[in-house]
Structure 1
Amino acid sequence: MKQRIITGVIAGAGFLGFIILGGIPFIVLMVLLALIGMWELLRMKHIKPWSVRGLTAFLFLLLLALPQEAISFLHVDRNELFLLLIIVLLGHTVMTKNSFTFDEAGFVILASVYVGFGFHYFMYARFVDNGLTLIFFLLCIIWATDSGAYFVGRSMGKRKLWPEISPKKTIEGSIGGILIALGIGLVFVYFFPVYDSMITTIIAILLVSIAGQLGDLVESAFKRHYAVKDSGQVLPGHGGILDRFDSMIFVMPLFYLVGLM
C-alpha cells in the first residue's frame, strides 16, 4: 500500500504537470504512454515487440496517435494510409503462409485503434478551446467514478456487475460511482464552467462516468482473456499504463464522436 501511494503521488503530480505545461512536452509524453500501452498489449499476446509484427503494430499506432501536424509531411490522408496498411498487413498473412496469422493481423489493427485513437484524442482535447479545463473536468469525473465505485462497492455491494470479467465489481458500486461522479462534476463546473448548458453538462458527466466504467471492463476482459493480472509493471503498485488509462482512452474517442469536445 505504501508503495502504491508513493507511486501514485509522484506519477500523478508529474502527469498533471505535463498536462498544465501542454505543448510539445505533453505530446511527447502522450506518444510515449501510447507506445508503452501497445508494448503491454503485444506482451499479452506473446508478440515480441521488436519483431516485424511488433514493429508493424508500433507503426500503426503512431499513425493513429500522432497529431495530424506531425505526419503532414506524408501529404496523404491518415485514414487512407491506415486502410492501405491494413491491406498490406492482410497480404502479409499470405506471403508468410500463415506464420503471421489473420488472428494476429486483427489483433494488431484493433490494438492500434484502441490505444492509438485513445491517446490521440487525449492530446486533441488538451488543445481545443478551454482544453485544460476540459481535461481536468474529465479526469475528475473518472477519478470520482473509480473512487466512488470502490468505496460504495466495498460498503454496500452485494450484486455482481459482471463476475465473468471482473469478479469484485458490483452493481451498487457502479451506481454509486456514477452518483458521486455526478456530484463532483457539478461542483467542478460551478467553479470552472465547461459547457453553457446544464443539460449538456449532466449528459457529459453521465457519459464519461458510464463509458469510463465500460473502458475499465474492456481492459479487464483483455487481461482475463490473456490470463494476466496487470497489463504491465511500469507503475509499481498500480500495474501498467493501460491499467491506469483504460477508462480515459476509452472515453476520449467517444467524447469526440458525440460532439462534446
Structure 2
Amino acid sequence: MKQRLITAVIAGAAFVTLVIIGEWPFTLLMIALASVAMGELIRMKQMKLLSPMSFLSFILMWLLLIPEKMTSLEWLHVHKLELFLLLIVVLLALTVVTKNSFTFDDVGFIVLASVYTGLGFHYFIYTRFLDDGLFLLFFILILVWSTDSGAYFAGRSFGKHKLWPEISPKKTIEGAIGGILVAFLIGITYVLFVPIFDSWFITVLFIFVVSVTGQLGDLVESALKRHYSVKDSGQVLPGHGGILDRFDSLIFVMPILYLLGLI
C-alpha cells in the first residue's frame, strides 16, 4: 500500500506538471507512454519485442499517434493514412511469405493494438492543443478519476450484483452507478468554477459519456488481460501495474469523445 501511494503521488505529480506545461514535453510524454503501452500489448501476445513484427507494430502505432504537424511524409509523396494501409498490405503479404508462421490473427492483433494505443494517446495530444485544451483535458481526467474512485468505494460499500463477472469478477452494478453519480457530483462542481461548454445539456451528456465509456474501457482491458492470462499489463508503475492498467479508461474515452464531436 505504501509503495502504491508513493508511486501515485510521484507519477501523478509528474503527469499533471507535464499536462500543464504542454507543448513538446507533453507530446513527448504521450509518445513515450503510448510506446510503453504498445510494448505491453506485444509482451501479452508473447511476441519478441526485438523483432521485425514488433518494429512494424510500433511504426503503425506511431503513424496514428504523432500529430500531422510534427511529421512530414512529403518526401515519400504519400499521406500517413495511405502509408498505414500500405503497411497492412505488407503484413498480409507476410502471412504468405512466412508460410503462415506469421498468421492472419497476428496481423489482426498488430493492427488493432496499434489503433487502440495510437489513436487513444493521439487524442490526448489533440485535446491538449485545443484553445481551451488544458481545462478540457483536466475536466476529462477529473471525470475518469472520480468515476474510478466512486465505483471503487460504492462497490465496496453497496456492491451486491456483479456487473460482468466473466470479465471482471470484482466489479458490481452498484459500483458502476456509484461511479457515474460521483462523476456528476465532481464534474458539475468543476464546471461551476471552470465553464467548459455553453450548454448544460452538452455538459451533462459529456459527463455521462466520459463516465460510462471510461468504465467500458476498463472492462475492455480486463477482457484483454483475461484473454492472455495476465494479471497486470506490465510492471512499469510499482504497485499499479503497467501503463495500460492506468490509462485503459482514458485511451478508450478520448477517441469516442472525438467521434461524437464533444472535443
TM-score interval for Structure 1 and Structure 2 normalised by the shorter chain: over 0.9
Counterpart position of 1:189: 191
Counterpart position of 2:213: 211
* Amino acid across the alignment from 2:9: V
Per-residue deviation, 1:82:
1.1
Counterpart position of 2:62: 62
Greater displacement, 92-101 / 147-156? 92-101
Counterpart position of 1:47: 47
Per-residue deviation, 1:92:
1.0
Counterpart position of 2:95: 93
Counterpart position of 2:28: 28
TM norm structure 2: 0.98
Corresponding residue to 1:242 among 238, 244, 257: 244
Per-residue deviation, 1:49:
1.2
1:124-177 Cα deviation digits (max 9, x unpaired):
000011000001000000000000000000000000000000000000000010
Tell me the SS of whatever aligns to 1:72. coil
Tell me the SS of whatever aligns to 2:177. helix
TM norm structure 1: 0.99
Corresponding residue to 1:156 among 138, 152, 158: 158
Counterpart position of 1:103: 105
Aligned partners of 1:132 and 1:151: how far apart in 2? 28
Per-residue deviation, 1:69:
1.3
Per-residue deviation, 1:206:
0.2
Counterpart position of 2:258: 256
Structure 1 stretches lacking a partner, 5+ long: none
For the aligned residues, what is the CA RMSD? 0.7
Per-residue deviation, 1:77:
2.1
Aligned partners of 1:56 and 1:36: how far apart in 2? 15
Structure 2 stretches lacking a partner, 5+ long: none
Query: 4+ runs of 1 displaced by more than 6 Å?
Result: none
